[in-house]
Amino acid sequence: MLDPSKILIATQCTPIEPWKSEVLRLFKSLNLFGGNLAQAKKVACFSESIDENFKNELEELGVKIIFIKSLDSRYAYANKIQMLQIKEEYDVLITLDTDIIVTGDFSNYIDKNTISTKIVDTDPLGLENWGKLFEFFKLDTPSDRFQTCITNDTTIPWFNSGVLFIPKKFSSQLYDSWIKYNKKILENYYTLNFMSKNSSTHDHKFAFTDQYALALAIHEIKLPYRLLPLDLNFSTHHHIHESFQPEKISPLLVHYHHLVSKNGNLFHCKYEKTNALINNINSKLNLPNLDYELLVDDIYLELLGRHADNIGLSHYSSLLNDKKITISNIKENIKNSNEFKTK
């Protein structure tokens, strides 16, 4: 097991809501449940100034604040690449998205000789378009094949950048290649029309640019990698494919994809073991027990098998708060909906 003082845990954050609350939740959960890793070095990176209260809250959690240069205004999520340039002493850099919570000590999964990460949840490109992308950049297409955990698609080695374990000895080389391909993809985005067509189905025009670039970079420089199990990046925004047996997993890192109530409670998912961990987090963070948004989302999960949409969440939680509807009424309404009848 690595000395926790040789491990650097970092996130990159925009200093507005909901990301401010997310980064505080991340480091609070690390300190509460991270075991040995609670003693790791902690860094939050920003590309713009932060307010004094937020700064004080981070410092009270033992988090060092570092300011980084913004890479490209077209896709701010790629600023996470700048974390590879943090000037700190460490053996392994662990980069986490802000919407991650730590539920246990994952020290045993850290390896200072390989990059460790998880295959993405879905593959919006498909194998044919991956081949076109690698060909465009004059690279051979990787031969390894893996399954995505939500859609069970067959895909190449391309990884969810929300959780990365990066040995220091690879950080400089990876940074140069990753930033190069991120820039090239943005410059050629509309030439690569199969990518721009795919982006129309997402809430950001340049969705996943950093992850496409990461796949190209790791393949170009032939860095050794190993796959992390779902325990180390367990997504709760969609159901996991049954072949991965998600109901048996007690994750150590939960990727909740911003699914949180206005009161700060994390929403549940389909799986009891993960929900028990979420309940523990909500309780230890001293969040309100009575949370109407949480109740409404649980009803949607129970009856429709999905999280509540924003309109339904706001509508029903407001009615519950004003005592104008009961939980039974909400369930009856949903059971009478076309979605419920045709699912």
Look at the block and give the residue holding tokens 């033992």.
62
| pLDDT band for position 50 (cuts 50, 70, 90) | very high
Side-chain half-sphere exposure of 186, counting CA atoms within 13 A: 20
Residues 6+ apart with CB under 8 A from 152: 241, 243
Is residue 91 within 8 Å of 113, Cβ to Cβ? no
Give the residue extent of every domain in the chain: 4-231, 290-343
62-71, 235-244, 279-288 — which is least confidently predicted?
Answer: 279-288
> CATH classification of 4-231, choosing from 3.30.300, 1.10.3470, 3.90.550, 3.40.630?
3.90.550
Structure-model confidence comparison of residues 209 and 199, the more confident one: 209
| pLDDT band for position 37 (cuts 50, 70, 90) | very high
Classify burial at 126, counting beta carbons within 10 Å of its beta carbon; exposed 0-12, middle 13-18, buried 19 or more: middle
Closest CA to 269 of 121, 162, 161: 121
pLDDT reported for residue 1: 74
Enter the tokens of residue 273.
């073991």
pLDDT reported for residue 190: 85
pLDDT for residue 162 is more than 70? yes
pLDDT reported for residue 201: 52
Is residue 65 within 8 Å of 32, Cβ to Cβ? no
pLDDT of 286-335, one tens digit each? 777 889 999 999 999 999 999 999 999 999 999 999 999 999 999 999 99
Is residue 157 within 8 Å of 215, Cβ to Cβ? yes
Classify burial at 248, counting beta carbons within 10 Å of its beta carbon; exposed 0-12, middle 13-18, buried 19 or more: exposed
What residue ranges in 224-320 does DSSP mark as E strands?
A: 225-227, 234-235, 253-255
Mean pLDDT value across residues 90-95? 98
93-102, 259-268, 281-290 — which is least confidently predicted?
Answer: 281-290
pLDDT reported for residue 26: 98
Enter the tokens of residue 168.
């220091």
pLDDT for residue 148 is more than 80? yes
pLDDT reported for residue 193: 82
Mean pLDDT value across residues 140-169? 97
User: CA 98, CA 24: separation in Å to the nearest integer?
Assistant: 8
55-64, 195-204, 206-215 — which is least confidently predicted?
Answer: 195-204
Enter the tokens of residue 306.
């999905």
User: CA 101, CA 29: separation in Å to the nearest integer?
Assistant: 6
pLDDT for residue 199 is more than 70? no
What is the overall mean pLDDT for the chain? 94
Q: β-strand 115-119 against 159-167: which pairing, if any? A: antiparallel
User: How many residues appear in the chain?
Assistant: 343
Mean pLDDT value across residues 152-170? 97
pLDDT reported for residue 315: 97
pLDDT reported for residue 197: 60
Q: β-strand 41-46 against 7-12: which pairing, if any? A: parallel
Mean pLDDT value across residues 147-162? 96
Q: Helix 168-187 vs helix 209-220: angle between axes, to the nearest 10 degrees?
A: 120
pLDDT for residue 164 is more than 90? yes
User: CA 280, CA 130: separation in Å to the nearest integer?
Assistant: 41
pLDDT reported for residue 73: 81
